[in-house]
Amino acid sequence: MTNFDYISVAKKVLEIESKALAKQIDLIDASFVEACELCLKCSGKLIVMGLGKSGHIADKIAATLSSTGTPSYFIHPSEAIHGDLGMIDEKDIALIFSYSGETEEIVSLIPYLKKKEIKIISFTGNPDSKLSHESDIHINVPVEEEACPMNLAPTASTTNALAVGDAFAVALLERKGFTKEDFAKSHPGGSLGKQLLLTINDIMHTGEEIPVVYSDDTLAKGLIEMSQKALGMTAVVDRDNKLAGIFTDGDLRRTLESSIDIQSTKMTDVMTINPFVVSADTLAYNAVNIIQEQKITSIVVVKENKVIGALNIHDLFRAGLM
């Protein structure tokens, strides 16, 4: 162990970056509003650019904007000047992050963007920079010092730029009325997407996979059906194919304790009536709540009281909902 005070260094970094963010709050002004309004009217995409550490921030902001309802993508300035400018058209708006506002690769793009009549919104820490002056809208994101003891490595400045970029994305999100459902459509593979989009219909067993027997069938036939379909249950229907009940592993344990004859006992004598059922358009996440609250492992899916599907707890696990 050394005597180096890591904790003090960490606290100092956080203090410097926190102070920068606190001061940034008072710098959010009419230019921020103007930038938001311009982007709301954009019929194309937001082209987000930056180089070095600012490029990493720009890339993240582009991803945040896209996932919250504002179509955006990141273009590396060096790639832009070597062909990727062809991806941009006059309907787009350029969001450029550069703390100095004087980065050569960034500044060299300005004439080409102007020629394409692309509106430029810049985020810099230098309002007197070339980029700031050439922008249609400039958002000031200065810091008094970096957290780096040499005041060289971008630290407080990148934290500040990231926070302002996030504020920009969230402001647009709220102005557009972007909802959890909208977010889920952009994140179908995420947990929220699954909660809000995945329905019972997407994961249930159908057709020949559904374990079903008639209420006047023998328990022996019911056990064979349960074994073959391996869902830990079988639906029980009447001769009109209407759901009459369900027979589960739990019912089986209770039945075997009674020492009854499985060849003569009818399903109607051992089934559970009025089981919990769901419709196919029920959100799959709601089935998780039902299973947990009712302490069951299987659910029958019905339409007009006819069995159209079935699922069990393992299906919900496979879907990533549990």
Indicate the residue among 126, 144, 178 that finishes a domain.
Answer: 178
Q: What is the CATH number of the domain that holds 162?
A: 3.40.50.10490
- Tell me: do 42 and 102 sit in the same domain: yes
> What pLDDT score does 317 carry?
83
Residue 277 forms part of a structural domain: yes
In the predicted model, is pLDDT for residue 229 greater than 80?
yes
Q: Which residue has the tokens 């070095």?
A: 52
Alpha helices (runs of H) in 68-103, residue ranges in sequence order? 77-80
- Tell me: do 23 and 118 sit in the same domain: yes
Q: How far apart are CA 272 and CA 261, in angstroms?
A: 18
Angle between helices 30-40 and 156-176 (to 10 degrees): 50
Instruction: Determine the average pLDDT of the residues in 202-220.
Output: 93
> What pLDDT score does 133 carry?
96
Q: How far apart are CA 169 and CA 66, in angstroms?
A: 9
Q: What is the pLDDT of residues 125-164, one digit of tens each?
A: 999 999 999 999 999 999 999 999 998 899 999 999 999 9
- Tell me: do 227 and 139 sit in the same domain: no
* Closest by CA position to 55, among listed 84, 37, 76, 38: 76
Residue 117 forms part of a structural domain: yes
Q: What is the pLDDT of residues 69-79, one digit of tens each?
A: 899 999 999 88
- Tell me: do 24 and 162 sit in the same domain: yes
Strand extents, DSSP E, 15-173: 46-50, 72-74, 93-97, 119-124, 137-140
CB count within 10 Å of CB 209 equals: 13
Work out how many domains the chain is built from and give that number. 2
Structural domain harbouring 253: 200-318
